[in-house]
Amino acid sequence: MFDLTGKTALVTGASGGIGGAIARALHRQGATVTLSGTRAEALEALKAELGERTHVIAARMDDPAEIDRLAKEAEAAMGKLDILVNNAGITRDNISMRMKDEEWEKVLQVNLTGTFRLTRAAMRGMMKRRFGRVINITSIVGVTGNPGQANYAAAKAGLIGMSKSLAQELASRAITVNCVAPGFIATPMTDVLTDDQKKGILARVPADRLGTPEEIAAGVVYLASDEAAYVTGQTLHINGGMAMI
């Protein structure tokens, strides 16, 4: 089950905790993987760890030209693009009263607009080949909201609506578009939380622990697989029961 031999995947934000785990998992299932992100050193380190069937293309998701270049170079490096995992994301947390326009715009630009642009660029080849998997990493807060994250929650909710629309446009071409919505996962992004904050979060998680990046990656592998061909427009929540939607 879930064999990805012969498939090719592009993972954005692959220098991060969840992105790295996704890239490792896709690679382990047999896929050729292109790692993208802004931190070239971390990407090269992951490439060295994974070995064969791995490419690195650094790119910024806030620059349209870079995004187009990324799509082109990834297709050129791997010969085709079957699986696109839009995982790149940033936070600029602030209570709304204090949130600056730049903080709002930057988060929307990278997390939502960048994802749309890259997906649009990747669609052409997928349509031609009558196969594609687009997996957008959203967040529980895109559905539940979170104080201090109006920008991030808006962008992540936007991804869900965008994915449902793309799913309907592309379903007849055997391209599926789905979201994975992590809850609180142990990564550098959550490491910065204080112990009190973590305690407060865990009080709301029936599983009574943070999730692992590998648990998110497993959901991505499923949605990328041939077995998930009939699943589209869905959001897979992986959150230890924190929200049941």
Which residues are catalytic, by number?
A: 152
Using CB under 8 A as the binding rule, the residues of this chain from 89 to 128 that contact other proteins are 124, 127-128
Q: Is residue 17 within 8 Å of residue 236, measured between CB atoms?
A: no
Measured distance CA(212)–CA(239) in Å, rounded: 10
Query: Smaller CB distance to other proteins: residue 128 or 199?
Result: 128
Name the token pair of 62. 């806030």
CB 12: neighbour CB atoms within 10 A?
A: 30
Residues that contact other proteins, how many (by CB under 8 A): 7
Shortest distance (Å) from residue 122 CB to other proteins:
14
Which x/- pattern over 126-155 shows residues binding other proteins (rule: CB under 8 A)? -xx---------------------------
Measured distance CA(26)–CA(54) in Å, rounded: 11
Query: Smaller CB distance to other proteins: residue 164 or 198?
Result: 164
Which x/- pattern over 16-45 shows residues binding other proteins (rule: CB under 8 A)? ------------------------------
Shortest distance (Å) from residue 36 CB to other proteins:
25
Does 204 bind other proteins (CB under 8 A)? Our answer is no
Using CB under 8 A as the binding rule, the residues of this chain from 56 to 75 that contact other proteins are none
Using CB under 8 A as the binding rule, the residues of this chain from 173 to 192 that contact other proteins are 173
Query: Smaller CB distance to other proteins: residue 127 or 193?
Result: 127
Q: Is residue 108 within 8 Å of residue 151, measured between CB atoms?
A: yes
Residue selected from 172, 195, 203, 230 as contacting other proteins according to rule CB under 8 A: 172
Measured distance CA(165)–CA(206) in Å, rounded: 32
Query: Smaller CB distance to other proteins: residue 39 or 124?
Result: 124
Measured distance CA(47)–CA(127) in Å, rounded: 29
The Cα-based distances of 87 to 37, 84, 100 in angstroms read 10, 9, 24
Look up residue 240 and give its DSSP letter.
T
Query: Smaller CB distance to other proteins: residue 171 or 201?
Result: 171
Radius of gyration of the CA atoms of the chain, in A: 17
Measured distance CA(68)–CA(116) in Å, rounded: 11
| Contact footprint for other proteins (CB under 8 A) | 124, 127-128, 169-170, 172-173
